[in-house]
Each structure stands twice: as structure tokens, then as C-alpha cells.
Chain A
Amino acid sequence: MTVVPAQQENGRGGGGSSGLYDVLELVLDRGLVIDAFVRVSLVGIEILKIDVRVVVASVDTYLRFAEACNRLDLESGPKKDPGLPDLVGEITESGARGKSKGALSGAAETFADAIGQGREAAGGRNGSSSSDGEEAPRRTRRTTSSRKKEES
């Protein structure tokens, strides 16, 4: 997952590679579909990654939140710059996900990994029909529904 700095505005209309990740879903999942045309098979597409950042209701998540709170410097108050490197270093225990994610995405990572494995399995089973094009979006929906189930 590419971590794009906040407020990135691609003035040239996304023609460059920066921000591609963020508009990929639009290129792949939006845009006009014309019945008379066939769609190129999207089997094995690897460029779409699921970045689950929603709060999943599980004991694992709770413990991670508690741990993150335990590390908060309560004396510093709310005005303290959240971007300070020493704090970020502590919070970002899983490291690779970028500074703004921290414990929350750490909790979600396992979740995403499980889904990723599911995707590979599904990809192996599916043939080269055009319906594979819906694969990634369908899977991301699954994560949402999981979340809703947890919430209800």
C-alpha cells in the first residue's frame, strides 16, 4: 500500500503514477460498461490491495487500542503534534503500514491477510471469464459486511 501524503492534489488529472493507487478502483470499477464489448480478463490482478482500516470489533482490536492508549502521553494534551517521530515510532509497531495507521491497521492487517489468502484461492479456482473482473470489488465488499455484522 502506498501511503500518499494528505492533501495530495494531482493537478494534471492523475496522468502521472502518483496517486494511481487511489484512482485505480475508479478505472477498474467505474466508467461506462457497454454490453456489446467484452472486458479483458482481470484474473490474477495484483495491483489492487485491500487496505482495511475500519475498526473491527474484536478483542484483538480492543487490546491493541488499550495498548495504544497506554502509550499516549496524557500530559502533552491534545494540541501536541501527532506527527512527532518518537511517538509515531512507538505506535507504529507493525512498521510497514505508514505513520498514520499505527495500531489500528495493525489489528486490521491480520484480517486483510486472511482475505488476501482467500483471494488467491478464489483466483486459482476461477477460469478466465469476464466475471473475474468483479473479483476485487466483491471482496472489498465482504470486508464491509463483516464490519457491519460486527457492529450490529
Chain B
Amino acid sequence: MTTYVYGIAHADHPLPEQQVLGVGDPPCPVRIVRSGELAAVVSDCPDGLRPKRRDLLAHQHVLTEMGGAGAVLPLRFGSLSTDDDAVRDALGEHATHYKTQLADLDGRVEFNVKAAHREEAVLRLVVDDEPEVRRLTEALQSAGGGSYPERVRLGELVANGVRAREVQDAHTIERTLAPLAEQSAPGPEGSGWLVNLSFLLPRTETAPFQEAAHRLAEEQPHLELLVNGPLPPYSFVRPAHSATDEETRERTPEGSGRG
């Protein structure tokens, strides 16, 4: 029987009173597999599991439910083990590393922040800030659109202005929010947002962060700001390497750091 693994917790991590349901259709009930001081949050894995919307949600749901009762290290979606015994072996293999991580992430949640430009609003800023762009825009409007070279020239100037704004706004967002978080880590690259950053916060102290994000959105109406959280700390777990756990701990993962 293949075992689906959601996360890793302390051995005494309680199962919620109400049955938590995991991946599959019908959903497989979530259970705990213990080894020493650690526990894995698992369920049976249905045959032919695919990354369907339903199952992705289930993964997220299980981690959220279980995370409410104490630290859980979230595994990436779709982690499968041949059986429960193999899960126990895996827990034992890097037990020190997992225990360190559980201590580090205890009571912590992740907030993910994404930002994009509101097209028209940012064009207005560029037109207002750059006299040459404004002059060309006025000239083209009064000429009923302007010639091809004129339009290309204006468009290029605008594109440069928008790009400069992207850099500037990304900096502003990070500078505003990072001091309110314990750590930050970049989201997956190239998703098309001018900012995609995750922040690690104490679960009980997220209000100042959320308020700051809210103020930022109000003060910068040309930004479309998406704040998602609290989330399981997906971006702040570190893999165990074959090197000793201590060495692993010394190595800071990409992009993380305080303030």
C-alpha cells in the first residue's frame, strides 16, 4: 500500500478530534505514523493519484488543519512512500534535522505577497512623471495617433518607464514588509509578478504585517497586491542533505535572511 506523506511533526502531535480527510476521491482519512520523537502525517495513496485541483486543495487543507495544533513541516505535494515502514525509516534517517526545523518553525506561518501593476494607473504615472512621454502622448493624440516611428518611440519610452517602476515598486514592497517578518524567501521565479515573496511570521503576530500590506495597497493604488496567508511554511523548510545536520543548518537557503 503506497503511503502519501503530507508533513512531519513531533510524535506527540495531536490528531484533531474531527477526522481530517486527505487526497483521493473518496478522500483517504489522515493518520499518524510515528518513529521515535517524530511523526509523519500520512494517508493511504489512491491509485493513479494526479495533481488535480481537488488533491492539491486536500494537501493544503491537511497541512492547515494539522498545523493548527503545533509545528508541521510541509512536504511538497505528491510525496509518496512505498509503505508506512519506509516512512518510519525516512523519519529516522534525518531525525535531528527535522527536530531542529520543527523547533525553528514552531508557531510560525508563511505569508505570500505578490504584486503586479495596474496597467492604466502605471501608464498615468509614467506620463505624469516624464515630460517627454507626456509631450509625445499629447502630440500623438492631437495628430490622431501619429506615425509608426513616433508610436514606436513613445511606446519604448513608456516601456522603459514601466520597467523602472517595476524595480522601484518591488524595492518599496520588500523594504516595507521585510522588517515586519522574521525571514523572507523569494517565490518561484518568473511567475510574471513584479514581486513574489514569502515571509515567515509568528502565527500570533501577523496583524502589523497585514496592516502594513493594506496601507501599502492604499498608498500605491497602481499596484495590484495579493496577500495570501497564513499558510504552512512551505518556503522555509530546508531539505536534509547527506552532510551532517549541523552543517546543513549552517547553510542558509536561498534568499532567506532577517529584515
- A residues sitting closer than 8 Å to B (CB atoms) are 4, 6-10, 12-15, 17, 19-20, 22-42, 44-45, 47, 50-55, 57, 59, 61-70, 72, 74, 78, 80, 82, 87-88, 91, 100-105, 108, 133, 137, 140-145, 151
Whole-angstrom CA separation of A87 from B163 in the bound complex: 23
Among B79, B188, B223, which residue has its beta carbon within 8 angstroms of that of A29? B188
Residue contact B155 to A61, C-beta cutoff 8 Å: yes
Among B79, B116, B234, which residue has its beta carbon within 8 angstroms of that of A37? B79
Residue contact B154 to A143, C-beta cutoff 8 Å: no
Residue contact B109 to A62, C-beta cutoff 8 Å: no
Contact partners of B141 in chain A: CB under 8 A? 70, 74
Residue contact B64 to A15, C-beta cutoff 8 Å: yes
Count residues on chain B whose CB falls below 8 Å from chain A CBs: 97
Residue contact A13 to B230, C-beta cutoff 8 Å: yes
| Given A31-B74, A32-B8, CB of A25 within 8 Å of CB of B188 | yes
Contact partners of A65 in chain B: CB under 8 A? 123, 154-155, 158-159, 162
Contact partners of A13 in chain B: CB under 8 A? 64, 67, 109, 229-232
B104 → chain A closest CB, angstroms: 13
Contact partners of B89 in chain A: CB under 8 A? 36
Beyond A42-B51, A70-B137: 5 further Cβ-contacts under 8 Å? Answer: A22-B228, A31-B234, A36-B90, A65-B155, A67-B151
Residue contact B222 to A82, C-beta cutoff 8 Å: yes
Among B138, B151, B237, B238, which residue has its beta carbon within 8 angstroms of that of A63? B151
CB closest residue in chain B, given A106: B119
Whole-angstrom CA separation of A145 from B223 in the bound complex: 23
Residue contact A26 to B187, C-beta cutoff 8 Å: yes
- B residues sitting closer than 8 Å to A (CB atoms) are 5, 7-8, 45, 49-53, 56-57, 59-61, 64-65, 67, 73-81, 86, 89-90, 93-94, 109-110, 112, 114, 116-121, 123-125, 127-128, 133-134, 137-138, 140-141, 145-146, 150-156, 158-159, 162-163, 166, 187-194, 198, 210, 213-214, 217, 221-232, 234-235, 237-240
Residue contact B127 to A27, C-beta cutoff 8 Å: no
Residue contact A8 to B226, C-beta cutoff 8 Å: yes
Contact partners of B166 in chain A: CB under 8 A? 54-55
Residue contact B217 to A6, C-beta cutoff 8 Å: yes
Whole-angstrom CA separation of A32 from B154 in the bound complex: 47
Contact partners of A29 in chain B: CB under 8 A? 76, 188
Contact partners of A41 in chain B: CB under 8 A? 50
A16 → chain B closest CB, angstroms: 8
Contact partners of A37 in chain B: CB under 8 A? 5, 75, 79-81, 90
